[in-house]
Amino acid sequence: MKLTLDIWRQKGASDAGRFETYTVEANEHMSFLEMLDVLNQELIGSGKEPVAFDSDCREGICGMCGFVVNGVPHGPVDNTTICQTHMRHFHDGERLRLEPWRAAAFPVLKDLVVDRSAFDRIIQAGGFISVRTGSAVDSNAMLVEKNKSDRAMTNAACIGCGACVASCPNAAAALFTGAKIAHLGLLPQGQPERTDRALNMVAQMGKEGFGHCTTIGECEANCPAHIKLEAIAQMNGDFLRAVFAKREESAGGGAG
């Protein structure tokens, strides 16, 4: 199958960037990224700069890959990363436009590669959870309601790819931050720091320059990890509760 690709080329952060058009011969068994590998081999062969894009596991589990194909983050296959999207979903002669995530908090580094360290800083702002070290705890010592453990696991599935931000008309990071806050906030191990975690992660999300959530739901529809809008409500609830529950640290608490 023969494809025409309009790919965003940008040498670095200070370059304005532009679309350039390429043609590539692929077959339907290739993954989307393998198709780009083929294109890059040809570019290298003819002495041109290959197209930079992020990838690592190519199994849909690490969250490294991601760009916008014809206006949809991770391309046309619902709830699937671009690395797990195969060329059989496209047809011969199709024209595809490849564009990087667009958000102030995700500056373009090169071509389709953006800097997502804003997500790392949101996670860091969440801090640690208190767990006892030493010998392993009896596995059933801490009971977790089935429903809550299911929801915690659903939210823990977030791979941090950034498609939520990319798809959001407001470039909000609410689904990502919500997933992180929800997966710890639902478990008993996450309770001691729950208040500060919600306050600090939401504050960091703002500092990074992400937009606000308007409950449109583009993020949920584009998320390859099936994170639901409910995660955002959980963040909102935890944050609001934290604002009112927050107590100043006191010197009390006994000798120790």
Partner 1 sequence: MSVATKTVTAPPSFSRVGVLWASTVGKKALMALTGILLSLFVLGHLLGNLQLYFGRDSTGAYLINKYAEFLHHNKPLLYGTRTVLLVAVLIHVIAAFQLQLGKGAARPVEYHQKESVNSTVSSRYMFWTGVVIFFFVIYHLLQLTLGVVNVPGFREGDVFHNVTVGLRTGVAPLFYVVGMIGLGLHLRHGLYSTFQSLGAGNPAVSQWALKWAAVVATVIALVNLSFPLAVLAGLVKG
Footprint of ligand FES (CB under 6 A)? 55-58, 60-65, 81, 83
What the block records as the tokens of 82 is 């671009």
Residues 1 to 60 in contact with partner 1, rule: CB under 8 A:
19
Q: How many other C-beta atoms can be found within 10 angstroms of the C-beta atom of residue 41?
A: 12
Residues 160 to 219 in contact with partner 1, rule: CB under 8 A:
167, 169-172, 174, 199, 202-203, 205-206, 209-218
The string of DSSP letters for 171-188 reads: -B-HHHHHHHHHHHHTSG
Q: Is 240 in the site for partner 1 (CB under 8 A)?
A: yes
Distance CA 231, CA 220 (A): 10
- Considering beta carbons, is residue 54 or 238 the nearer one to partner 1? 238
Residue 50: CB minimum distance to partner 1, A = 22
End-to-end Cα distance, the chain: 71
Distance CA 110, CA 241 (A): 41
- Considering beta carbons, is residue 25 or 76 the nearer one to partner 1? 76
DSSP run (H or E) holding 235: helix 230-245
- Considering beta carbons, is residue 33 or 69 the nearer one to partner 1? 69
Phi, psi of 4 (to 5 degrees): -110, 130
Q: Is 237 in the site for partner 1 (CB under 8 A)?
A: yes
Residues that bind partner 1 (CB under 8 A): 19, 68, 70-72, 97, 99, 102-105, 167, 169-172, 174, 199, 202-203, 205-206, 209-218, 220-222, 228-241, 243-244, 246, 248-249, 251
